[in-house]
């Protein structure tokens, strides 16, 4: 039975290849599309990670094996504008960005979905580990965590709008684990069955993000003071862009015990350090918030949720208080959280019964946390 036409985003890895294959088995007309996003300056070229030249070749072979058409779209300039430039700008501001969140938002589920619809497709499919459903009771589409919690990617998908959720398929979210994905790939004779997962940011060279920033934004390599939370100068740093909250490396020695980065001040070009206990905070303010399973809350509304402050972190009980326009919230944790990092996302989870903590309510970008003796200005509620 024909279920419609779906564009499958094929990155060259096993997840997206199995996604395309499963949807074809289920009766969809599948079109494989790979995005050309690698940059001319990058050294990944033929053998790099997601969407490099080598990945395109892997995607093309997988599409041929599955028996679906495959196309490559040039997204290089768009990706550089929406993802790479923002990545660099956030480091200039003394923040630590999450480029995968922005790539999902602006590239995959905005621009690629638009292209899919231009091709006459009914859906866009990705190899993400998450689940999408329609809640008859609320009349809203919902994003849920993957069945396999170890592979869950809902944290990086919280920006999906109701319209995007209604047009998106994620068949891998119902599998029991990555091994099941690889088993399916092997049974189908896909050459990517045992291909290693990409671990690094796709546009950052093997040497890491520090040389990348020095090349793209040399002004970020401006030396400045390393100060403790009392204002005492302890040494000099190489540039605040090369430090992040919670970092211990490349800091001055301290006879009283190890020091950690507790704040970054781009106005004074200072790295502020303190003891481990000064990294903990009970509140954060997040801005540019988007709401998923819930409509935007009324001003002053308070929502109980489990909040996750980093991709590999654990969601913690909290209370979310909405601002006047619902795009800025204050999140208060029951238990203080370590190394709340501006630029990372705070994602709010809810749900009831067996699905408690499984449903993405919404999320935003962390603007500020009060940590130890350090504080930064933020939008007030």
Quick: pLDDT tens for 232-241. Answer: 999 999 999 9
The residue-averaged pLDDT of 168-184 equals 96
Return d(Cα 58, Cα 64) in angstroms, integer. 10
Q: 378 pLDDT band (50/70/90 cuts)?
A: very low
Superfamily designation of domain 222-274: Adenine nucleotide alpha hydrolases-like domains (2.30.30.280)
The per-residue pLDDT for 340 is 97
Q: Which CATH architecture does the domain made up of 280-369 adopt?
A: Beta Barrel (2.40)
Return mean pLDDT, the chain: 91
Q: How many residues would you count in the chain? A: 381
pTM for the model = 0.92
Lowest mean pLDDT among 228-237, 247-256, 320-329: 247-256
The residue-averaged pLDDT of 10-35 equals 97
Q: Find all residues with CB under 8 Å of 364, minimum gap 6, and list them.
A: 286, 287, 288, 289, 290, 327, 328, 329, 345, 346
Return the C-alpha torsion angle 225, 226, 228, 229, nearest 10: 70
Residues annotated as catalytic are: 103, 202
Examine the pLDDT at 39 and tell me if it is beyond 90: no
3-state SS class at 68: coil
Q: 84 pLDDT band (50/70/90 cuts)?
A: very high
Lowest mean pLDDT among 105-119, 146-160, 185-199: 185-199
Beta bridge partners of 281: 337
Q: 5-187 has which fold?
A: Rossmann fold (3.40.50)
The per-residue pLDDT for 370 is 67
Examine the pLDDT at 259 and tell me if it is beyond 80: yes
The residue-averaged pLDDT of 48-71 equals 86
For the chain, domain boundaries: 5-187, 222-274, 280-369
């Amino acid at each position: 039975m024909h279920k419609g036409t779906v564009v499958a985003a094929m990155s060259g890895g096993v997840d997206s290849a199995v996604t395309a294959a499963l949807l074809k088995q289920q009766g969809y007309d599948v079109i494989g599309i790979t995005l050309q996003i690698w940059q001319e300056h990058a050294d990944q070229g033929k053998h790099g990670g997601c969407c490099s030249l080598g990945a395109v070749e892997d995607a093309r072979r997988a599409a041929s094996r599955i028996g679906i058409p495959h196309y490559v779209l040039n997204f290089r300039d768009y990706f550089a504008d929406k993802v790479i430039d923002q990545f660099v700008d956030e480091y200039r501001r003394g923040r630590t960005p999450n480029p995968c969140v922005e790539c999902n938002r602006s590239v995959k589920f905005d621009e690629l979905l638009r292209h899919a619809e231009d091709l006459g497709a009914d859906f866009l499919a990705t190899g993400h580990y998450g689940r999408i459903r329609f809640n008859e009771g609320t009349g809203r589409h919902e994003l849920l965590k993957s069945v396999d919690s170890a592979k869950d990617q809902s944290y990086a998908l919280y920006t999906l709008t109701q319209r995007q959720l209604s047009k998106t398929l994620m068949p891998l979210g119902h599998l029991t684990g990555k091994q099941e994905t690889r088993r399916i790939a092997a049974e189908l004779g896909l050459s990517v069955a045992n291909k290693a997962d990409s671990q690094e940011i796709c546009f950052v060279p093997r040497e890491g993000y520090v040389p990348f920033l020095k090349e793209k934004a040399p002004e970020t390599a401006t030396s400045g003071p390393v100060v403790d939370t009392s204002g005492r100068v302890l040494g000099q740093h190489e540039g605040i862009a090369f430090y992040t909250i919670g970092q211990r490396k490349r800091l001055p020695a301290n006879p009283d015990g190890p020091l950690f980065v507790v704040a970054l001040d781009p106005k004074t070009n200072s790295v502020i350090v303190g003891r481990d206990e000064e990294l903990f905070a009970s509140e954060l303010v997040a801005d540019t918030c988007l709401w998923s399973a819930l409509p935007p809350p009324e001003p002053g509304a308070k929502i109980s949720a489990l909040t996750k402050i980093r991709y590999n972190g654990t969601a913690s009980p909290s209370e979310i208080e909405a601002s006047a326009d619902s795009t800025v919230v204050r999140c208060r944790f029951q238990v203080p959280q370590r190394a709340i990092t501006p630029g990372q996302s705070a994602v709010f989870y809810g749900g009831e019964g067996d699905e408690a903590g499984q449903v993405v309510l919404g999320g935003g970008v962390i603007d500020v946390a009060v940590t130890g003796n350090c504080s930064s200005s933020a939008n007030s509620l």
